[in-house]
Amino acid sequence: MRLRPAAAATVVLAVALWFVPEFADGFPIFYLLFAYNVFFWIAQASSWNLFTGSSGYFSFGQGAYYGVGVYTVGVLVAKRGWPLLPTFVVAGILGALLGLFIGLIVFRLRKLRGEIFALMTLAVAFVMGAVARVSSTIDGGQGIPLSGVELPQALGDFPAMIFRLGLIVATLAVLAAQVLHHSRLGWGLFAIRDDEAVAENLGVPTFRFKMMALGISAFLASLSGAVHSLQISYVTIEDVFNIRVPLLVILMSILGGTRHWMGPVVGALVVYTLNDRLNAAGLQDVSDLIVGGLLIFMIVAVKEGLYLRARQRPLRAAIGFAVGIGPPIVLGLTDSAITVMAYGLLGAVLLLMLPVTAPVEEAVPVHG
Amino acid sequence: MSLLSQAVVSGVLAGGLYAMMSLGMSLSWGVLKVINLAQFSFILLSAYFTYQLTVSLGIDPFLSILVCVPLFGLAGMALQWVFNRIRISEFESLLFTFGLFIILESLAATVWTADFRRLSTEQNPYVSESIWIGSIALPVPQLAAFVAAILVAFGVRHLLRNTHFGRAVRALAQDRDVAVAFGVDNGKVSMQLAGLAAGFSALAGVFIAMSRAIFPGLAVEWFGIVFSVVILGGLGSTLGTLIAAVIIGVVGAVATVWGGPPMAPLAVFLVLIATLLFRPEGILGAARRDT
Amino acid sequence: MADLYFDDVTKRFGGVQALAGVSGQVEQGEIVGLVGPNGSGKSTLINLLSGYLEAEGGKITFGGEDITDRPAHRIIEMGIARTYQIPRPFGTMTALENVSLPLMFGTARHDPGRARSEAQQWLEFTGLERHADTPVAGLNLHQLKYLELARALATRPRLLFLDEVLSGLNPTEITQSIEMVRRIHADGITIVIVEHLVRVVTELATRIVVLDRGRVIAEGEPTTVMRDPEVVVAYLGTRGRHA
Amino acid sequence: MNIHRARRRPTGSLTGAIALLAVLALVLAACGGDGTADTTAAASPGTTTDGGTETTAGGTETSTGGEEAAGDPIVIGSTLALSGPLAPTAAIHKVAGDLFVEQLNANGGLLGRPVEWVVLDDESVADQAASLYERLITEDQVDLIMGPYGTGAITAAMQVAERYGYLMAQHTGSLTYAFNYGCQFPAWPTGRYPNVTNPELVFDALEATGNPPETMAFVINQFPGTMFVAYGYPDSGDAQDAQGAVSIAQERGYDVVLDVQFPLTIDDWGPIAAQVRDADPDFVYLGGLGVDAPNLIAAMDALDYQPAGMFVQWPAPGPVLGAGESAEGVLSVTAFEAHPPFTDDPENAQIAATFEEAATEAGITYAEMETQASASWAAWQTLVAAVEGAGTLDNEAACDYLVNNTIETIFGETSYGTEENNYYGDLSYVKQVQDGDWWVVYPEEFAAPDHAIEYSPEG
């Protein structure tokens, strides 16, 4: 398959970003950590959407794959002293195996669809936590401190390292989503999403395709979880196997738009940035009101997702962003680039939320 | 032996509470196609209201039912009105109500602080009281919840089977468009049902306040158990919900006694998975129709 | 030599015996009309023969190969395609994308780009070229039925099942559609057509098979078959039942 | 989702609301824009030209006592679990911190400059805490940091602090084996081996009654801290870490008739209560925290069962008392209680009194100063003592000062800088519920006036 412009752009961007840490004196190191977190959520959201967005099988299982990744590092590296980088790959593979195992059961043994499939994945996530709790080889309630873990020096000091690791995983996830989006696999999945029986009857190997997508998705989610364990630095069941990750991932993908690979990327950037700035904006008691409120309004007002909406209304997005960054620049609150960006995104989002008047059919074809 | 039987009984009663907490979610998801996380907020807030009424008015906690149930019933209806208005899809509703959940939790934290709130034994004598059957103790709050759950489950079952409202609801549950085509007033019926669902959650909240300490972060801890009950019982099946909750309560209790408390969640979730595999539509079979 | 051959195929849904051992064959180049009252098993038979459903009993061979237990997505490679009574397009795709999909699978296995360009010609064949980039939600029933045809033809079938392509169309549309079927047949594609409008079938088909309650009750040259008393009873009887 | 339906929905009516939300959001974001989160700052960071006298004197009271702090505020950053499961206890640390900073500023501030405390919400999640500390240090560039609350958050924050060489005083981190950062200063006097010293203390107390229990039941919350005290942490490779309450009990010849663990979140206490009743021990050792104690007590009450004696590791004190009669005689450990001899020192008495006011005002149900609040207070005293002692905001210097000097905290003479991860000894005392309130009852010399431990296996 030839390299498409989008993919090329992604690779170029990734390579460029790779060297950002070299100029770390020019900006607060926190930017690297912030960027890492955005990468993390991009990887998670993209991996979720890779399967669910394409196939229409709604999964709550993200927490399970993520957790497998985190605990693989916790157990093998912190407890057994395995080297870090190889373990990442192992974590990804274990996650993929879990995904394929689930797939085998729900797609072959039983043909579960819709809600039942969603509930099944939710149940699996619960079980993973329960298993970690009873098994003292995994956790057993003690939790696992990762303070002693040997970090690879090759990638630079911690901020640079985790930034680069996150960058790699996010790039992989986005590339995977792009390739899928334009491949026979992708089209097969889109067909499955629209009408699985007809797709099968037209020659789409539905079972194999669903398994492939699930495997890739789980691999990426678990890999990204493994990297994230370094950020957590102290792994506990409550922190890892909670409902937070799956809910946020679903949230980001749907807000950004599940129909295009850019959707989860946009969703992750917007949600994480606003969440970070609002939650840290002090007045904690009201910041939650805003996060919740924004969420509600976005769901109501931008059903097709921010990305597609922005593509129909690029002007709105641009104006919104400009208006957004206005106040802080006027008020001279430019000491934090992230805050300024947050204003921009907020402005863009709010403007995009205004009702669309012109017919949406004008929308550029979603796929292709 | 007495240990096991006592454990089983307390499991059954705990099941009553789980059922009470899950009925609203099950109806909302199964019939209205709204995955309503706000049900958890209703439970939490109702518990706080119960706490507040009992402490500041010095009334019997049971009396707060008279306030909480109608109050949250109305809240539920209002919310459903919005959902109908914006024609929300199933998974959009999940996110919408997640936002609501966040908001309501932080409101609770603002009003009652993040600190624990627990009715003292004087204010709430029931917490340590039991009704005895031979050597078996039936703790009052759980017992009350259990009885309430049975009444509600069968009440709703009767309602749905033998009333015009019920037929309308079942019609909607099976195929909304067809039902509407046949003249069912989706808006009215769904709001009524949403009101009921929210009322049930409020009722659960009262029993929660009577049986344990509450704090804003508590609500999210209920996700596991409630979703398990809802799944096991079959979406929208009230009787299924009740039975599922009891099964889960008992399985958890027995696992606790035999394998230790950490075994309880594992046992419960394994039962859950087995059910999904072999009775995907829930223990009572075709849940939607059974409602 | 019989191209499609099926022997004693059975299917039941719950308690209902949809097909109670149906046998028959379809010769190369035929247009077989499959008729019968509602619930007689016409669509079920098509679903089995096109691999959409799995038969419980019996044997199906095509071009001498046993395809009874072959997974649906491999049947298409054999050169069997079908349309649906109620059109089932891929709802989130444009007309062109709908037709290009089968071209990426089955025997063609083109990459998406090539598939699109080839799909275009099938849209032209069915006169939908102007709607290539219209999301299917923007098409009317007549166009959707043609889209079904285009999608099926894109798989380059040797045998094509048409499940009530005419139902719901107005007289002019019906005439056009019949014309279309003739053209397809003229391209050397064997056709099995399920149709309610007996007039049309007798006019189109080279041979007619009559199903009733999951059984073949008559078969043969159209005009003679339609005069067969049992057939008449079955029809009138059903009409009565349905009135 | 059907794009074509989407557009026909009536969203217009929402516009107003959205616009309003927009304004609100922008305003709020503006508050956070410059990083000034929920802060406690001097009433008026001295607009008067630099009048504050620099000081290099050690100790907690700044030598400029009374004088108005002046100059640019010194910013101290930290996170707390202001929401999530750990929020109930974190709320206490918020009150303590606010009060301490307020008093500090009233007494001439730090190095003569006013102090501003920036506290962010880590939502009880470790990785949140990590990135927030990262932000406080490298983006907001706070001068100093204070530890968060909750084992996970503390561990995560400590890694960040170590990365940038920030001194980290922390209140209640209990993974004593994991905290090997030389500039972390645990104010809570648990000692390096609470898994040994804590149980020893409790068992000594029981034996001091002359009528100790013979059978014991252990009911342990699967929370890292309580697990550590109950079973130790063998993986650390340190022999002493491998011990724990259970093994020590067995060494002492108690008959362990029940040993169960339970998940952090538990819905049904009935079966556990039934198990305890079934084992009918002379003494129940509940390795629990928060509201585990009242929940278990209520469940046992419901079975009409009251054990002869019961100990609970780290309870939320209020709810335990809420259990009324049944809570009488329950034992726990504490580092400070608002009664003599702890309040003999007038300054401590003063602190305890003002804290109670502040806590009551903040709506904390149990407003008296005890372990959590005092540990929090000591942590702040530690930080201030370090900076004042070193006479500079340089974290390294401040750290050295603490390692090499003895300072004064609410717990008395405190010398960190031990070989044992700066844990300076276990200053825990046994407290007991008597007549509806907590009293320290052991060791005698710290017992509240005319209070002594009450226990007998006969109940």
Boundaries of every domain in chain C:
1-79+159-243, 87-156
Cβ pair A188:C104 closer than 8 A = yes
D443 CB contacts (<8 Å, ≥6 apart)? D205, D429, D430
| pLDDT surpasses 50 at C188 | yes
Give the pair of three-digit tokens for residue A181: 């989006």
CA distance B248 to C181: 60
Nearest by CB to B223, which of A133, A243, A285?
A: A243
- Residue with the larger pLDDT of the pair A79 and A266: A266
Chain B residue at shortest CA distance from A110: B277
Q: CA–CA separation, B80 vs B70, rounded Å? A: 15
Distance from CA of B207 to the nearest CA of A (A): 25
CA distance B139 to B152: 20
Q: Which residues of C touch A361 (CB under 8 A)?
A: 135, 138
pLDDT value at A91 more than 50: yes
- Could you give the CA distance from residue D225 to residue C231 in angstroms, rounded to a whole number? 84
Residue A256 identity? G
In percent, the amount of chain D with pLDDT more than 70 equals 85
List of chain D residues whose C-beta atoms are within 8 Å of the C-beta of residue A338: 139
Each residue of D272-302: b (16+ CB within 10 Å) or e? bbbbbbbbebbbbbbbbbbbbbbbbbbbbbb
Strands D283-290 and D310-315 come out as parallel
Q: Could you tell me where the beta strands, DSSP code E, fall in D95-134?
A: 115-121
Strands (E) across chain B are located at: 130-133, 136-139
% of chain C exceeding 70 in pLDDT? 96
Read off the amino acid at residue C195: E
Chains B and C touch (3+ CB pairs under 8 A): no
pLDDT of residue A124: 87
pLDDT for the residue numbered A110: 67
Copy the structure tokens of residue D80. Answer: 């707390």
**Which of B21, B51, B90, B120 is the best residue to mutate to test the D interface, defined by the most D CB atoms within 10 Å of its own CB?**
B120
Please state the rounded mean pLDDT for residues D109-113.
94
For strands D331-334 and D310-315, give the pairing: parallel
* Highest mean pLDDT of the ranges C42-51, D297-306, D373-382: D373-382
pLDDT higher than 50, residue D48: no
Dump pLDDT digits (tens) for C143-170.
999 999 999 999 999 999 999 888 888 8
Whether B and A touch (3+ CB pairs < 8 Å), yes or no: yes
Region A16-42: mean pLDDT is: 92
Closest CB to A119 among B102, B107, B276: B276
Interface test with D, best of A75, A238, A297 (most D CBs within 10 A): A238
For residues D168-189, average pLDDT: 91
How is chain A split into domains, by residue range?
Answer: 1-242, 243-359
Q: What is the pLDDT of residue D24?
A: 45
Q: What is the mean pLDDT of chain D?
A: 85
Compute the 3-state secondary structure of chain B and give helix, strand, coil in percent, each to the nearest 5. Answer: 80, 5, 20
Contact of D2 with chain C, judged by CB distance below 8 Å, is answered with yes
Contact A288 D83 (CB under 8 A): yes
Complex-level ipTM: 0.86
Write the CA distances from A169 to A59, A266, D404, integer angstroms.
21, 17, 45
- Predicted local confidence at residue D50, as pLDDT: 35
The pLDDT, as a whole number, for residue D45 is 37
CA of A188 vs chain C CAs: smallest distance (Å): 8
Q: Give C-chain residues touching D3 at CB under 8 angstroms.
A: 135
Structural domains in chain D plus CATH codes: 36-189+369-414 (3.40.50.2300), 194-334+429-446 (3.40.50.2300)
Kindly tell me whether chain A and chain C come into contact, counting contact as 3+ Cβ pairs under 8 Å.
yes
Q: Which residue has the tokens 């968060």?
A: D148
Residue B64 DSSP one-character state: G
User: For chain D, which chains pass the contact test of at least 3 CB pairs under 8 Å?
Assistant: A, B, C
- Is the pLDDT at D398 greater than 60? The verdict is yes
State the Cα–Cα distance between residues B141 and C50, nearest whole angstrom: 61
Sequence-distant (6+) residues with CB within 8 A of C225 are C208, C210, C218, C219, C231
| pLDDT above 90 as % of chain A | 46
Q: Mean pLDDT over all residues of chain B?
A: 89
Residue C239 pLDDT more than 60?
no
Alpha-carbon distance A143 to D152, whole Å? Answer: 9
Q: What is the rounded average pLDDT of the residues D425-441?
A: 94
Strand blocks (E) in chain A: 144-145, 234-235
CA D269 – CA D221 distance, rounded (Å): 12
- Which pLDDT score is estimated for A280? 65
Distance from CA of A353 to the nearest CA of C (A): 23
Distances (CA, A) of D152 to A69, B16, B218, D129, D164: 18, 35, 19, 9, 19
CA D253 to chain centre: 33
D6 touches chain A (CB under 8 A): yes
Is the pLDDT score of D22 beyond 70? no
Query: Taking 80 as the threshold, does the pLDDT of residue D6 lie above it?
Result: no
pLDDT at A3: 65
What the block records as the tokens of C21 is 């051992």
Strand-by-strand arrangement of the C159-163 sheet: C80-82, C159-163, C190-194, C31-35, C207-212, C215-220
How far is Cα C46 from Cα C32, in angstroms, rounded to an integer?
12
- Say which residue, A249 or D236, is predicted with more confidence: A249
Across the interface, do D261 and B262 touch by the CB < 8 Å criterion?
yes
Q: Would an 8 Å CB–CB cutoff place D65 in contact with chain B?
A: no
Please write the tens of the pLDDT for every residue from B211-237. Answer: 888 999 899 889 889 999 998 898 888
Predicted confidence (pLDDT) at residue B104 exceeds the cutoff of 90: yes
| Residues whose CB falls within 8 Å of the CB of residue B48, separated by 6 or more in sequence, listed in order | B108, B111, B112, B117, B205, B209, B214
D265 touching chain C per CB within 8 A = no
Point out the residue among B109, B140, B264 whose CB comes nearest to the CB of D83.
B109
Q: Is C76 on the interface with A (CB under 8 A)?
A: yes
- Rounded to whole angstroms, the Cα distance separating A223 from A226 reads 5
Tally of CB atoms within 10 A around A334: 14
A80 to chain D, closest Cα gap in Å: 10
Q: CATH for C1-79+159-243, among 3.30.70.2740, 3.40.50.620, 3.40.50.720, 3.40.50.300?
A: 3.40.50.300
| Mean pLDDT, residues D223-244 taken together | 90
For A347, C107, D5, D149, the CA distances from A303, given in Å and listed in that order, are: 18, 38, 10, 39
pLDDT digits (tens, 9 = 90+) for A211-233: 999 999 999 999 999 999 998 88
CA distances in angstroms from A74 to A80, A134, A145, D282, listed in the order given: 9, 16, 8, 39
pTM of the model as a whole: 0.89
The D74-80 sheet, strands edge to edge = D39-40, D115-121, D74-80, D144-146, D168-170, D184-186
In terms of C-beta density within 10 A (0-12 exposed, 13-18 middle, 19 or more buried), how is residue A184 classed?
buried
Residue D5 with chain C: CB contacts under 8 Å: none
Task: Collect all residues of chain C within an 8 Å Cβ-Cβ radius of residue D4.
Answer: 135, 137
d(CA B41, CA B141): 20
Express the helix, strand and coil content of chain A in percent, nearest 5 each: 75, 0, 25
Alpha-carbon gap, residue B11 to B139, rounded angstroms: 11
**Helix (H), strand (E), coil (C) string for A51-99:** HHHHHCCCCCCHHHHHHHHHHHHHHHHHHCCCCHHHHHHHHHHHHHHHH
Report the C-alpha gap between B156 and A318 in whole angstroms: 53
Judge whether residue B62 has pLDDT over 60.
yes
Residues 6+ apart with CB under 8 A from B133: none
Instruction: Return the higher-pLDDT residue of B242 and B172.
Output: B242
Give the pLDDT band of residue C237 (cuts 50, 70, 90). Answer: low
Select the residue from A187, A192, A362 to test the C interface by mutation, using most C Cβ atoms within 10 A.
A187
Question: pLDDT tens digits for B148-201?
Answer: 999 999 999 899 889 989 888 888 888 888 888 888 888 899 999 999 999 999
Q: Of 1.10.3470, 1.10.10, 1.20.120, 1.25.40, which CATH number belongs to B2-113+140-290?
A: 1.10.3470
From chain B residues 4-33, the ones with a CB under 8 A of any chain A CB are: 29
Contact criterion met (CB < 8 Å) for A331 and D224: no
CB contact under 8 A, A254 and B95: yes
pLDDT of residue C225: 87
| Confidence at B72, pLDDT banded by 50, 70, 90 | very high
pLDDT in tens, C35-63: 888 888 888 999 999 988 888 889 999 98
**Could you say which residues from 44 to 83 on chain D have a Cβ atom under 8 Å away from some Cβ of chain A?**
82-83
Average pLDDT over residues C7-33: 89
- Quote the pLDDT of residue D83: 85
State the average pLDDT over residues D434-451. Answer: 94
Min mean pLDDT across A325-334, B220-229, D266-275 is at A325-334
Q: Alpha-carbon distance A212 to A204, whole Å?
A: 13
Q: How confident is the model at residue A141 (pLDDT cuts 50, 70, 90)?
A: confident
Give residue B197's pLDDT. 96
Q: Which stretch of D55-64, D109-118, D295-304 has the lowest confidence by average pLDDT?
A: D55-64
Average pLDDT over residues A66-72: 96
What are the residues facing C160 on neighbouring strands? C81, C191
Check if D279 contacts B (Cβ < 8 Å).
Answer: no
Mutate to test the interface with B, among D11, D221, D267, D312 (most CBs of B within 10 A): D267
Cβ <8 Å between C135 and D2: no
What span, in angstroms and rounded, lies between the C-alpha atoms of A31 and B282?
49
pLDDT band at D13 (very low <50, low <70, confident <90, very high): very low
- DSSP strand pairing (C80-82 vs B136-139): unpaired
User: Encoding tokens for residue A103?
Assistant: 């797939």
Instruction: For residues D94-122, give the mean pLDDT.
Output: 94
Contact between residue D80 and residue D94 where contact means Cβ atoms under 8 Å apart: yes
Helix (H) or strand (E) holding C27: strand C16-27
